[in-house]
Amino acid sequence: MKRKYFGTDGIRGRVGKAPMTVDFILKLGWAAGKVLGKADRGQVVIGKDTRVSGYMFESALEAGLAAAGLDVLLLGPMPTPAIAYITQSQRATAGIVISASHNPYHDDGVKFFDANGFKLPDATELEIEALLDQPLQMVGPERIGKATRMEDAKGRYIEFCKSSIGFHTSLRGMKLVIDCAHGATYHIAPAVFRELGAEVIEVGTSPNGMNINHQVGALYPESMRSHVLENGADMGIAFDGDGDRLMMMDAAGDVKNGDQLLYIIARAKLKSGDLGGGVVGTLMSNLGFEHALQADGIAFERAAVGDRHVMEKLVHNDWRLGGEASGHIICLDKTTTGDGIIAALQVLDALIGEGQTLSEACSDMTIYPQTMINVPISQPLDLNDSTEVQDAIAAAEGELADSGRVLLRASGTEPLIRVMVEGQDKAQVAELAERLAQTVTAACGR
């Protein structure tokens, strides 16, 4: 069945427009409570990022869950992976995150974790959706849920992050720029790195409800670069608004993306014997990343775009490490979901263990030039049924041979076809991408 409300990572949209309205979110809390709390009364953990709309939606979810007979544990502003961890550690029924991740403040969303700290399966989301079309029927007064607040959530999660690397690892002597995007890591990440010994220069740690992700964080490394260069820092570490993805930067101001960071972690785990299988990337993972892993004898498989799909393949393969170039990195030996802080610590642990700088650790991996063109479409276009598009793809792949890749896919959230070409020759890549984009535009006009 096709999902009506849930996307690849929960429900998301513009605040005040369906589905991100107070009445809908209240009913979502009730429907989720009815589905997730079947076995017993249970308790649901709720956390949020720093958007001003989080206060409103937190109250709506709390009311809906209470109406379904579930208790609520409120954490306040916390990174998405922190909600997954505390849900599991509290033996809660489920966890809910109020966040639109890397989107601007005027968007918001709701995503769920099960009792084990994993994203909900499709079947459970469909069950919740089915109830959303039914009348809200609250439990009797004697069964209404209660809400409490966890006062020490911040400290618990800081200690959990620190425990993801060995006690022998110290960051003493390191100068780090930590960019929190005015988001959920603002009061967590600086403390983690300071307590491990680093000198921390804070960026994006003054949220006001509307500046989340605004010209700071993982999507805007320029801000981090200026601080790294001005302060002579060893590295920069930037998170997105909800803290489940990151980018890092070396002392020269060069950004290292998720593929490069995964490569560093994978090599370190291979050397220590802790890799536990291969690495899962996505259709967007750079071909240079795949070739570098192959050179080290590390198995690699691609999943569909989205950390949800990476997780599914990791579980299927019984592997532990995967992620996306965008900075979602999943270390299943440490936690149950993508976690920017924990992934950054794994990179730092690897660098310290090898006595390398960030740039040195990436030197054996070549990032192939990649061109991405978003082609607006006025009507749905089935790429597989378009002869001219398929012929153009075949021609481009023939020109690239084994030195590149072509990927065309429809956006899951916008009326766009994403055209991606990568290869060793930058000029050739750009030319082929433009040619394919023109073919898609022409095919859509017919």
403 is known as an active-site residue: no
Q: Which CATH number belongs to the domain containing residue 293 in this structure?
A: 3.40.120.10
Residue 4 is assigned to a structural domain of this protein: no
Question: Among 202, 218, 253, which residue terminates a domain?
Answer: 253
Alpha-carbon gap, residue 137 to 123, rounded angstroms:
22
Q: Is residue 27 domain-shared with residue 143, that is, in the same domain?
A: yes
Closest C-alpha to 293, from 316, 332, 262, 255: 262
Q: Is residue 19 reached through a cis peptide bond, with omega within 30 degrees of 0 on the bond before it?
A: yes
Q: What domain count does the chain have?
A: 4
What the block records as the tokens of 71 is 């208790």
Query: Comparing C-alpha atoms, which of 276, 229, 282, 232 is closest to residue 257?
Result: 282
Contacts with 438 (C-beta within 8 Å, 6 or more apart), sequence order:
none
Per-residue tokens: 131: 């109830």
Is residue 324 one of the residues assigned to a domain?
A: yes
Q: Which of 150, 172, 207 is the last residue of a domain?
A: 150
Q: What are the structure tokens assigned to 102, written together?
A: 């890397």
**pTM as predicted:** 0.93
Say if residue 274 is in the same domain as residue 305.
yes
Contacts of 187 (CB under 8 A, 6+ apart): 77, 154, 205
The verdict on 264 and 375 lying in the same domain is no
The residue to which tokens 């590149």 are assigned:
404
Q: Which of 182, 202, 172 is nearest to 190 (CA)?
A: 202
Domain presence at residue 267: yes
**Cβ partners under 8 Å of residue 160, min gap 6:** 82, 85, 89
pLDDT tens-place values along the chain, 446 residues long: 678 999 888 999 999 999 999 999 999 999 999 999 876 779 999 999 999 999 999 999 999 999 999 999 999 999 999 999 999 999 999 999 999 999 999 999 999 999 999 999 999 999 999 999 999 999 999 999 999 999 999 999 999 999 999 998 999 999 999 999 999 999 999 999 999 999 999 999 999 999 999 999 999 999 999 999 999 999 999 999 999 999 999 999 999 999 999 999 999 999 999 999 999 999 999 999 999 999 999 999 999 988 889 999 999 999 999 999 999 999 999 999 999 999 999 999 999 999 999 999 999 999 999 999 999 988 888 899 999 999 999 999 999 988 899 999 888 667 899 999 999 999 999 999 999 999 999 988 75
Contact present, 299 and 312 (Cβ < 8 Å): no
* Concatenated DSSP letters of 163-175: TTS-TT---TT-E
Q: Domain residues for 404?
A: 370-444
Instruction: Please identify which of the residues 101, 223, 285, 326 carries the catalytic annotation.
Output: 101
**Are residues 85 and 210 both part of a single domain?**
no
**Domain presence at residue 121:** yes
127 and 201 in a single domain? The answer is no
* CB of 265 closer than 8 Å to CB of 330: no
Give yes or no: residues 128 and 81 share one domain.
yes
Same domain, 227 and 210: yes
Domain end marker among 312, 335, 361? 361
